[in-house]
Amino acid sequence: MEPLGLGVLCAAIGSVMATEAVKLVCGIGDSLVGRLMVFDALAMALGEALRAAGDTAWCLFARISLAWLVWLPLAYLVVRVAGGEAAAATWVMVVYFIALVIVLGWRFRGGAWRRIDLTGRAAVH
């Protein structure tokens, strides 16, 4: 097994690069050149590992909860109340990704996914 889905990370970044090349050659769309692109590879790898083990509902709950309880309120406070700009909103997204990695990593290290029976063999006894 490759460490934390390194192949998936390379494929995802390669896909973004290919899309950007097509946009530049064709002269369509807005280019990401000169912009910061935040990529939550660790959260994606941990989430995919948990989902592959059958822990899909928990991952969905964690992502939705953190988005509504961390990202949205912080983004509103930083941008609307404190008058932050795009860079401040980007830092809020980074905080969200860090919180997501911590929560998914905690779930993964806890090993609850090991008790999930994907094959149905436990019910066959």
Count CA atoms within 13 Å of residue 79 on its CB side: 15
The pLDDT, as a whole number, for residue 54 is 79
Convert the pLDDT of each residue in 77-113 to its tens digit.
998 888 888 778 878 888 888 898 899 889 888 887 7
Vertex 46, ends 41 and 52: CA angle to 5°? 120
Convert the pLDDT of each residue in 45-84 to its tens digit.
788 888 877 788 888 899 999 999 998 999 999 988 888 8
Convert the pLDDT of each residue in 16-48 to its tens digit.
778 888 888 888 877 776 665 666 777 877 888
- Furthest C-alpha separation in the chain: 62
